[in-house]
């Protein structure tokens, strides 16, 4: 009987000491190593496109989110486009501003395309692509998935044979621009029939 | 000195934790898809294995033996490993965010890595001293890292290989792991401890 109580006591004591020491250590560490974080930075970071392209002048999306908190303007993210600027303005209660980028580049929706005859299959552009829009393998031809490509131009620079260029985003095969049909009788005399684009 | 080098070689190659003792198979299969992730996992495991084998030795010598409560080993070691991992993560996040972003997601995984608990238990079973415990942990970590990185390299090639469909994916990975285990059997008999 006493043996049993002794064993039980040793067990409770031993485990108690281990867990107590661990708990004290961790609570100390949680205080000592606390990181001052701002939840607004995280919500700003969540709105940014996470291409980590550096076109805003900061080394990534998270640093740019930090800079916005300390007063950087919200319109410096070309991959995000006007859409991101509007949503950031909405989140932060700021007036929305036009995107601060080359207006021509911003208005044109571009994608990267690989000139496939020239591709040597070095995989450097695949490693550079932040959205995994380039497929291919070593010593095999690579190609771009247009639907995934954001036109961030990060793949242009690493290409050793300069076989990547930016083109305006091609229309999808099933893309259809409806022409407005003539609405009143006098319009019907016009030669314009319904056009498919 | 010979004793310690024997312990390291034995833990790393002859009694390799993954391929000979079949401990730590979960990360071996789980994070060996790419060499970069395998490297991150190896670094994190090396750190935690060394730390936890020392901590486990301290608990064994200072607490469990005086209290005559050796049957508590498994429970106490798991708590200690979890605390060590959590502490490492907190400290790393504060002192070096870069290393944390490399190791970050792998650190919590290690808490439940049975190789870590295995090293702690084997240390007490073999009555290693403090120094021997630490180097046994280092050797085990070296072996784990070596096998994990080799396997990740093989799996990167397998991704591109033309494998018959019934053998694709996890099946070919397990078959490959089996062949690697066979190869590691070649080390047995090299040293006897």
Per the CB < 8 A criterion, the answer to whether B11 and B71 are in contact is no
Same fold, A39-101 and A108-168: no
Cα-Cα-Cα-Cα torsion B150, B154, B156, B160, nearest 10 degrees, comes to 170
Q: Give how far B108 is from chain A: nearest CA, Å.
A: 15
| CB within 8 Å of chain A, chain B residues 27-56 | none
What pLDDT, on the 0 to 100 scale, is given for residue A86?
86
Mutate to test the interface with A, among B79, B85, B97 (most CBs of A within 10 A): B79
Contacts of B71 in chain A (CB under 8 A): 11
Q: Does B93 fall in a domain?
A: yes
What pLDDT, on the 0 to 100 scale, is given for residue A116?
87
Residue showing tokens 């870590």: B116
Q: Does B150 fall in a domain?
A: yes
Q: Give how far A132 is from chain B: nearest CA, Å.
A: 15
> Could you tell me which of B111, B121, B110, B112 has the C-alpha nearest to residue B21?
B121
What pLDDT, on the 0 to 100 scale, is given for residue B182?
92
What pLDDT, on the 0 to 100 scale, is given for residue B139?
93
Say yes or no: B75 contacts chain A, CB-CB below 8 A. yes
pLDDT at residue A123 tops 70: yes
Contacts of A137 in chain B (CB under 8 A): 160
> From the CB of residue B19, how many other CB atoms can be counted at a distance below 10 Å?
27
What digits encode the pLDDT tens for the residues A141-188?
A: 899 988 888 888 888 888 999 899 888 877 767 767 666 665 565 555
Q: Does B193 fall in a domain?
A: no
Contacts of A26 in chain B (CB under 8 A): 83, 86-87, 90
pLDDT at residue B79 tops 70: yes
pLDDT at residue B12 tops 80: yes
How many Å apart are CA B104 and CA B47, to the nearest integer?
13
Q: Does B107 fall in a domain?
A: yes
Residue showing tokens 């050797």: B139
Region A39-101: CATH code: 1.10.15.40
What pLDDT, on the 0 to 100 scale, is given for residue A109?
73
What pLDDT, on the 0 to 100 scale, is given for residue A180?
63
CB contact under 8 A, B94 and A34: yes
Q: Report the range of poorest mean pLDDT among A41-50, A71-80, B92-101, B176-185.
A: B92-101
Average pLDDT over residues A4-30: 88
The tokens for B12 are: 């790393």
Q: Does B27 fall in a domain?
A: yes
What digits encode the pLDDT tens for the residues B148-191?
A: 999 999 998 888 888 898 888 889 999 999 999 999 988 887 76
Triad A56, A59, A63: Cα angle to 5°: 85
Count Cβ–Cβ pairs < 8 Å, chain A vs chain B: 52
Half-sphere exposure of A172 (CA within 13 A, CB side): 6
Q: Does B41 fall in a domain?
A: yes
> From the CB of residue A174, how many other CB atoms can be counted at a distance below 10 Å?
5
What pLDDT, on the 0 to 100 scale, is given for residue A187?
53
Contacts of B72 in chain A (CB under 8 A): 11, 14-15
Q: Which of B76, B90, B93 sits opposite A14 (nearest CB)?
A: B76
**How many domains does chain B contain in total?**
1
Triad B137, B138, B142: Cα angle to 5°: 120
How many Å apart are CA B61 and CA A53, to the nearest integer?
53
What digits encode the pLDDT tens for the residues B108-141?
A: 878 778 888 999 899 888 888 899 999 999 999 9
Quick one: pLDDT band at residue B143, thresholds 50, 70, 90? very high
Q: Does B190 fall in a domain?
A: no
Domain ranges of chain A: 39-101, 108-168
CB contact under 8 A, A33 and B59: no
Can you spell out the DSSP letters for chain A? -HHHHHHHHHHHHHHHHHHHHHHHHHHHHHHHT-----HHHHHHHHHS------TTSSSSHHHHHHHHHTT--S---TTTHHHHHHHHHHHHT-------S-HHHHHS-EEEEE-TTT-----HHHHH-TT--EE--TTS--EE-TTT-----TTTTT-TT--EEEEEPPPPTT---PPPPP-SGGGGGSS------
Half-sphere exposure of A153 (CA within 13 A, CB side): 12
Mutate to test the interface with A, among B63, B64, B158 (most CBs of A within 10 A): B63
Q: Does B191 fall in a domain?
A: no
Please state, rounded to an integer, the average pLDDT across all residues of chain B.
86
List the end-to-end C-alpha distance of chain B, in Å, as a whole number. Answer: 15
Average pLDDT over residues A34-61: 81
By CA distance, what is A136's nearest residue in B?
Answer: B160
B39: phi then psi, degrees, rounded to nearest 5: -65, -45
Quick one: pLDDT band at residue A196, thresholds 50, 70, 90? low
Residue B173, domain extent: 2-184
A174: phi then psi, degrees, rounded to nearest 5: -95, 15
Region A108-168: CATH code: 3.30.70.20
pLDDT winner (highest mean) among A74-78, A122-126, B33-37, B95-99: A122-126
DSSP state of B125: H
How many Å apart are CA B51 and CA B95, to the nearest integer?
18
Q: Report the range of poorest mean pLDDT among A184-193, B7-16, B63-72, B94-103.
A: A184-193
What pLDDT, on the 0 to 100 scale, is given for residue B193?
52
List the end-to-end C-alpha distance of chain A, in Å, as a whole number. Answer: 92
Could you report the predicted ipTM of this complex, rounded to two decimals?
Answer: 0.71
């Amino acid at each position: 009987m006493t043996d049993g109580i002794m064993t039980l006591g040793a067990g409770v004591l031993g485990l108690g000491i281990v867990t107590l020491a661990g708990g004290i250590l961790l609570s100390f560490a949680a205080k000592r190593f606390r990181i001052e974080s701002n939840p607004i930075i995280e919500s700003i970071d969540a709105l940014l496109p996470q291409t980590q392209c550096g076109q805003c002048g900061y080394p990534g999306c998270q640093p740019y989110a930090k800079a916005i908190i300390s007063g950087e303007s919200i319109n410096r993210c070309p991959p995000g486009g006007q859409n991101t600027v509007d949503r950031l303005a909405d989140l932060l209660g700021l007036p929305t501003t036009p995107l601060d980028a080359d207006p021509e580049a911003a208005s044109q929706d571009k994608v990267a395309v690989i000139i496939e005859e020239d591709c040597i299959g070095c995989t450097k552009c695949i490693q550079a692509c932040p959205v995994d829009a380039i497929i291919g393998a070593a010593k095999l031809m690579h190609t771009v998935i247009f639907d995934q490509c954001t036109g961030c131009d990060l793949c242009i620079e690493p290409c050793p044979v300069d076989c990547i260029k930016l083109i305006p985003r091609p229309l999808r095969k099933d893309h259809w621009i409806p022409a407005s049909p003539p609405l009143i009788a006098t319009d019907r005399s016009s030669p314009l029939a319904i056009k498919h684009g | 000195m010979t004793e310690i080098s024997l312990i390291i070689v034995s833990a790393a190659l002859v009694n390799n934790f993954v391929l000979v003792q079949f401990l730590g198979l979960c990360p071996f299969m789980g994070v060996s898809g790419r060499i970069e992730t395998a490297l991150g996992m190896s670094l994190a495991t090396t750190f935690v294995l060394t730390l936890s084998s020392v901590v486990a030795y301290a608990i064994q010598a200072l607490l469990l033996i005086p209290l005559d409560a050796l049957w508590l080993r498994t429970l106490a070691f798991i708590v200690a490993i979890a605390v060590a991992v959590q502490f490492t993560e907190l400290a790393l996040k504060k002192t070096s965010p870069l290393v944390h972003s490399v190791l970050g997601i792998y650190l919590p995984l290690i808490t439940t890595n049975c190789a870590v608990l295995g090293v702690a238990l084997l240390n007490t079973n073999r009555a290693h001293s403090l120094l021997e415990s630490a180097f046994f942990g280092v050797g085990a970590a070296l072996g784990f890292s070596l096998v994990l990185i080799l396997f990740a390299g093989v799996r990167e090639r397998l991704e591109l290989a033309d494998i018959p469909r019934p053998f694709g994916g996890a099946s070919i990975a397990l078959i490959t792991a089996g062949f690697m285990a066979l190869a590691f059997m070649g080390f047995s008999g090299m040293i006897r401890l």
